[in-house]
Amino acid sequence: MKEHLYQFSKTALIVIDLQKWIGDQYAPYSAEQVVERASAMVQTFREAGAFVGLVRVSSKDFKDMPRPLLDQEPPAIKLVPGWDKIVPEIGVTANDHLIIKRQWGAFYGTDLDQQLRRRGITTIVLCGIASGIGVDTTAREAFAHGYQVIFAIDAMTGFSEAEHEHVSKVIFPRIGRIRTTEEILACAALQS
């Protein structure tokens, strides 16, 4: 028997940072694999009329971004023209909710929590890049806000395999449920 993970009417799919700046320095999954799997979930959630939140980093002049003192420089990211646009494989429809963030997590400084609560959403499915940064921070914020979290573990990837493995083995099981894209889509099929 298939597991009933969620109900579309109370669940949002939140896609983290699948925008044109993504490169090829990820593990254990490539950006292409993540985009393909996320795209399948986006399409399924859209067809069901469920909440799809597309999160992206954006800034006009980078003066609104955090500038902490660091012991280690972050990975270099090549900003190509249109770097802050959602990848074309996912695209943006009129019913999607665009969330612009200027830090790692999708809750702080955005209206994501308000949009979810006003719609009675209690569960979020998370996917995107990078599992140990944007996905992890958003998941912790969702947990702190009282949401049920489902991790589409093969529709996310890290800057290294060690980063991805750490959050998927140590952090994520403590704040939500880990499932594959196939398992999440199978639950969708039960509702149609």
Q: What is the pLDDT of residue 1?
A: 43
pLDDT computed for residue 75 by the predictor: 65
What is the distance between the alpha carbons of residues 42 and 54, in angstroms, rounded to a whole number? 9
**What is the dihedral sign for C-alpha 14, 17, 19, 22?**
negative
Strands (E), 43-182: 51-57, 97-101, 123-129, 148-157, 177-179
| pLDDT tens, per residue, the chain with 192 residues | 456 788 999 999 999 999 987 777 899 999 999 999 999 999 999 999 999 999 998 767 777 666 777 798 876 667 778 888 999 999 999 999 999 999 999 999 999 999 999 999 999 999 999 999 999 999 999 999 999 999 999 999 999 999 999 999 999 999 999 999 999 999 988 887
Give the integer Cα–Cα distance in Å for 26 and 29. Answer: 6
C-alpha span between 63 and 59 (Å, rounded): 8
Question: Rounded to 10 degrees, what is the CA torsion of 143, 172, 6, 187?
Answer: 170
Reduced to 3 states (helix: H, G, I; strand: E, B; else coil), residue 43 is helix
Residue type (1 letter), 165? E
Question: What is the per-residue pLDDT for 96?
Answer: 98
pLDDT number for residue 72: 85
HSE-up of residue 87 (Cα within 13 Å, Cβ side): 21
